[in-house]
């Protein structure tokens, strides 16, 4: 039978005469306010066992959601289940509020209220939702470098709600950093970058635990830095650190989100050979040997457009979040190149090297090497 649609005012009148109004939105949606007198029962919960919540099939049932679509779907479902006195509120809670009808907010403790409010836009995404956001809060990320790439990546990882962010960098803030390293400020020149980063990120999201490690990544500490983390982000500015991170991530089975910038161009990829031997490449599959110094000057020598690390760092943060949530298609086996002057992206497919010295299937880990000497540094 067809489901009738009623206005919020009509629903309010019928409530006064005994009709049951059910808000079928998710709990995080109801946190911002729901129709006074309504029962909050999420659509999936209601449809899983309607008899539990509505034992009397003769009761007049009014259903409301955000705009009217989900409530109509639930009404149709209940109709099939044998309920006959059903209506859906047209325009949903949005129209209810716009017409000035009374709303109430569910009682939440301070932590739950902060969670629902802070991450409300994530919670609206079916691919994230409450379960995904809790997964982010339980996750641990290692950020190598608090500079050009680490700044935007760390900002957005903290904002997204990553629960534990370990940042390793042994440098201090210099005035020349401020053109691109947005974690830092004029007032913090001379301060350790990891301390400056902790100040900025704590102010952004106090829910994220920040672990500042004022150390340069070397063979002697790399496994300690990687301990217990779910994803590693490479924000290093030198080849010895990149090769070391790659080798350690292959050995320990950690996904590595790679990024690099120079002048007006940048690159991003995900190297995940440690968990996908023979299927995904590692950094050494792309660069078996480091380029000669004259072909790969650092930013201090060649310069870099200030906004470029922002673009690449944000892409790295995006890949990290996808990996943590297990959604989308990571840049595994793909190298994304960005040309800022042409405003053009292009993609190159990467294949695992069956003879790779580190990630070839069945090949034992060769051990850490003198990466400075290997890279001619």
| Per-residue model confidence as pLDDT tens digits over 114-134 | 999 999 999 989 899 999 999
pTM of the model: 0.87
Give the separation between CA 254 and CA 274, rounded to whole angstroms.
6
The tokens for 178 are 């401020």
Name 166's bridge partners.
142, 211
Residues in the chain: 377
Going along the chain from its start, the domains and CATH numbers come out as 4-107 (3.40.250.10), 139-374 (3.40.50.720)
Is the Cβ–Cβ distance between 276 and 349 less than 8 Å?
no
**pLDDT digit string (tens) for 193-206?**
999 999 999 999 99
C-alpha to C-alpha distance for 358 and 274, rounded to whole angstroms:
9
- Residue 2: the pLDDT is 80
What does the mean pLDDT of the chain come to? 94
Q: Which is nearest to 129 in space by CA: 139, 115, 141?
A: 115
Which positions ≥6 away from 154 have C-beta within 8 Å? Answer: 143, 146, 165, 167, 183, 197, 201
Q: How does 104-117 read in b/e, with b if 16+ C-beta sit within 10 Å?
A: eeeeeeeeeeebbe
Q: Looking at the predicted structure, is the pLDDT value of residue 147 above 70?
A: yes
């Amino acid at each position: 039978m067809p489901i009738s649609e009623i206005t919020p005012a009509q629903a309010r009148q019928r409530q006064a005469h005994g009709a049951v109004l059910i808000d079928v939105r998710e709990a995080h949606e109801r946190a911002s306010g729901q129709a006074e007198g309504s029962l909050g029962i999420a659509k999936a919960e209601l449809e899983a066992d309607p008899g539990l919540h509505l034992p009397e099939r003769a009761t007049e049932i009014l259903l409301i959601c955000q705009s009217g679509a989900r409530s109509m779907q639930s009404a149709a479902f209940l109709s099939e289940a044998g309920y006959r006195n059903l209506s859906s509120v047209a325009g949903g809670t949005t129209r209810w509020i716009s017409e000035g009808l009374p709303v109430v907010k569910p009682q939440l403790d301070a932590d739950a209220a902060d969670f629902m409010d802070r991450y409300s836009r994530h919670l609206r995404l079916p691919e994230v939702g409450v379960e995904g956001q809790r997964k982010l809060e339980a996750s641990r990320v290692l950020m190598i470098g608090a500079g050009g790439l680490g700044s935007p990546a760390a900002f957005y990882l903290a904002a997204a709600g990553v629960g534990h962010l370990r940042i390793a960098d042994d440098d201090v803030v210099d005035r020349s950093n401020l053109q691109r390293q947005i974690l830092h400020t004029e007032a913090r020149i001379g301060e350790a970058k990891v301390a400056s980063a902790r100040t900025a990120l704590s102010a952004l999201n106090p829910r994220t635990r920040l672990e500042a490690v004022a150390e340069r990544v070397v063979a002697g500490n790399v496994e300690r830095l990687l301990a217990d983390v779910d994803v590693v982000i490479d924000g290093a500015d030198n080849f010895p650190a990149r090769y070391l991170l790659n080798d350690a991530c292959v050995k320990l089975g950690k996904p590595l989100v790679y990024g690099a910038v120079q002048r007006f161009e940048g690159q991003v990829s995900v190297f995940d050979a440690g968990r996908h031997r023979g299927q995904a490449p590692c950094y050494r599959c792309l660069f078996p040997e480091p380029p000669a110094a004259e072909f790969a000057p650092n930013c201090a020598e060649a310069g870099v457009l200030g906004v470029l690390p922002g673009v690449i760092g944000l892409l790295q943060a995006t890949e990290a979040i996808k990996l943590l949530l297990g959604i989308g298609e990571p840049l595994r086996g793909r190298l994304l190149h960005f040309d800022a002057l042409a405003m053009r992206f292009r993609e190159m497919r990467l294949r695992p090297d069956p003879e790779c010295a580190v990630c070839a299937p069945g090949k034992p880990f060769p051990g850490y090497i003198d990466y400075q000497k290997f890279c001619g540094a």
